[in-house]
């Protein structure tokens, strides 16, 4: 039971991190200091998308699930939890590149707007 709760906690943290990567620039508009947290998170999120890396939270979650006697999964967090909703057929390299590009465009637009306001 404890390992299952830990695995579920990792999923929640993972999801919060993904939301922060996607929308963190909006927080920067309100609190400027958040940029020091968001830019590294954004770089990590884009790198995961572009290079097909596996986030360390995924193996951690799998380890907790397997320690509880459950079954882990081989694909990444997005492919396992989110893509069945968005892309039922599975994750491709093209999708990952698209996600990374959307991240860059969305956040780049917000940061550009912030930069213009500062001038």
How far apart are the C-alpha atoms of 31 and 35, rounded to whole Å?
8
Judge whether 10 and 61 are in contact, CB under 8 Å.
yes
Q: Which helix (H) or strand (E) holds 29?
A: helix 2-30
For the chain, what percent of residues have pLDDT higher than 70? 82
pLDDT value for 26: 93
Alpha-carbon distances, residue 31 vs 4, 16, 35, 75 (angstroms): 35, 18, 8, 35
Dump pLDDT digits (tens) for 49-97: 888 888 888 889 889 888 878 766 666 666 667 656 544 466 777 878 8
């Amino acid at each position: 039971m404890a390992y299952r709760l830990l695995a579920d906690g990792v999923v929640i943290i993972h999801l919060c991190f993904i939301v922060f990567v996607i929308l963190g620039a909006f927080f920067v508009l309100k609190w400027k200091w958040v940029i020091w947290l968001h830019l590294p998170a954004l770089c990590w999120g884009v790198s995961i998308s572009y290079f097909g890396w596996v986030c360390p939270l995924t193996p951690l979650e799998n380890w907790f699930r397997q320690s509880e006697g459950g079954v882990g999964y081989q694909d990444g967090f997005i492919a396992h939890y989110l893509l069945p909703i968005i892309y039922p057929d599975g994750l491709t390299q093209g999708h990952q590149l698209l996600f990374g590009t959307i991240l860059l465009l969305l956040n780049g637009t917000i940061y550009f707007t912030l930069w213009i306001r500062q001038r």
